[in-house]
């Protein structure tokens, strides 16, 4: 098992986030055979039930999460995993539900989506957010053994830690691409669920949206960056940009709003050329403007940002813009 654990941590550091979970699960399958898996990266626990907010589905049947919502209140396995944090639960669906009429719909769901045999492990934080890993075998009589349950329980914390390492490495790569050195970073899924965020990123969001849901991007960011697929959203107190957009994950960077954000597109062009070391005559040639027009632009830029020279302007621009 040690080789598998080392392999999981190794691929966490050199595999893109979009591929990491599939690669890690394929490695686990060499020592713990399973047919499908659900990796819950963000769940909500209210003391009575678990609700998936973000989950990676490995070889799962289409529509399983929508169907789960219909039997959420009957999910005894999820409740057991939440109340026995870190302990793997070994379950056979038919033995669990028996002939109880109150569990008929849940048993039908488990059988329909091939969850008749499962190993489920959950972990609930003090804020009642949760993470989980569920392995399934499709065969009606293909139960997991006690040895496999113990193996699953031993692997669980390593799988979760490796995922966090993988997300942090993704953020480090974004920062190394330049322009985000001083920007707090975060990664979310394509529903706006925050999978990992640096503390300063969360502080910036909370300053602008104090009533936001802790585990989610504010609705304004979901609309602008995910639904409308814009690259940037500027609010009164914060600017949030897309650093990298993948299939299911989005890497974000944020900074406090600045007077530079009030510049017009033309003024911003002029300011960027100043930051490259050009004087007003050189800028006039590049933008095909008269030198006097460029001087007027620069004066308005200085006044708006509150700087007294092009050197100060360049310094401010370097700190704020990528």
pLDDT digits (tens, 9 = 90+) for 251-308: 999 998 888 878 888 888 888 888 888 888 888 888 898 888 988 888 888 888 888 8
Q: Is the pLDDT of residue 208 over 60?
A: yes
Q: Is the pLDDT of residue 155 over 50?
A: yes
Residue bearing tokens 């654990």: 5
pLDDT at 224: 95
Q: What is the model's pTM?
A: 0.82
Q: Could you give the 3-state DSSP secondary structure of residue 143?
A: coil
DSSP state of 214: T
SS3 sequence of 76-114: HHHHHHHHCCCCCEEEEHHHHHCCCHHHHHHHHHHHHCC
pLDDT at 180: 45
pLDDT digits (tens, 9 = 90+) for 118-144: 999 988 777 667 889 999 999 888 999
Residue 98, C-beta contacts closer than 8 angstroms, at least 6 positions apart: none
DSSP state of 59: S
pLDDT above 90 covers a percentage of the chain that reads: 46
Q: What is the mean pLDDT of residues 150-167?
A: 95
Alpha-carbon distance of 312 to 102, in angstroms, equals 71
Report how far apart the first and last C-alpha atoms of the chain are (Å, whole number).
44
Q: Is the pLDDT of residue 46 over 70?
A: no
Q: What is the mean pLDDT of residues 181-186?
A: 82
pLDDT digits (tens, 9 = 90+) for 51-103: 778 889 999 999 998 999 898 888 888 888 888 888 999 999 888 888 787 78
**Half-sphere exposure at residue 303, Cβ-oriented, CA atoms within 13 angstroms:** 6
- Residue 121: enclosing H or E segment and its boundaries? strand 117-124
Q: Is the pLDDT of residue 41 over 60?
A: yes
Residue bearing tokens 């890993």: 133
Residue 83, C-beta contacts closer than 8 angstroms, at least 6 positions apart: none
Q: What is the mean pLDDT of residues 169-182?
A: 74
Contact 254, 201 (CB under 8 A): yes
Q: Is the pLDDT of residue 179 over 60?
A: no
Angle at alpha carbon of residue 87, lines to 40 and 158, rounded to 5°: 60
Q: Could you give the 3-state DSSP secondary structure of residue 322?
A: coil
């Amino acid at each position: 098992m040690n080789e598998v654990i080392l392999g999981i941590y190794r691929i966490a550091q050199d595999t893109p986030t979009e591929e990491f979970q599939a690669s890690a699960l394929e490695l686990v399958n060499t020592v713990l055979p399973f047919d499908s898996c659900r990796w819950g990266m963000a769940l909500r626990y209210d003391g009575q039930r678990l609700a998936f907010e973000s989950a990676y589905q490995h070889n799962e049947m289409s529509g399983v999460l929508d169907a789960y919502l219909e039997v959420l209140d009957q999910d005894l396995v999820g409740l057991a995993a939440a109340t026995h944090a870190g302990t793997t639960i070994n379950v056979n669906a038919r033995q669990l539900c028996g002939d109880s009429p109150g569990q008929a719909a849940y048993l039908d769901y488990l059988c329909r989506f091939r969850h008749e045999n499962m190993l489920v492990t959950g972990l609930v934080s003090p804020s009642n957010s949760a993470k989980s890993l569920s392995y399934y075998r499709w065969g009606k009589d293909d139960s997991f053994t006690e040895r496999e349950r113990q193996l699953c329980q031993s692997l669980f914390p390593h799988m979760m830690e490796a995922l966090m390492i993988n997300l942090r490495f993704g953020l480090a790569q974004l920062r190394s691409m330049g322009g985000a050195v001083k920007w707090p970073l975060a990664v979310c899924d394509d529903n706006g669920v925050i999978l990992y965020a640096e503390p300063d990123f969360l502080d910036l969001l909370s300053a602008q949206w104090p009533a936001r849901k802790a585990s989610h991007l504010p609705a304004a960011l979901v609309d602008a960056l995910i639904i409308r697929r814009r690259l940037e959203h500027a609010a009164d107190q914060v600017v949030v940009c897309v650093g990298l957009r993948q299939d299911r994950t989005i890497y974000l960077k944020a900074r406090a709003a600045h007077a530079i954000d009030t510049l017009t597109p033309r003024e911003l062009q002029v300011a960027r050329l100043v930051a490259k070391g050009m004087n007003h005559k050189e800028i006039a040639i590049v933008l095909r403007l008269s030198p006097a027009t460029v001087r007027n632009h620069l004066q308005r830029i200085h006044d708006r940002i509150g700087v007294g020279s092009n050197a100060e302007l360049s310094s401010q621009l370097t700190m704020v813009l990528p």
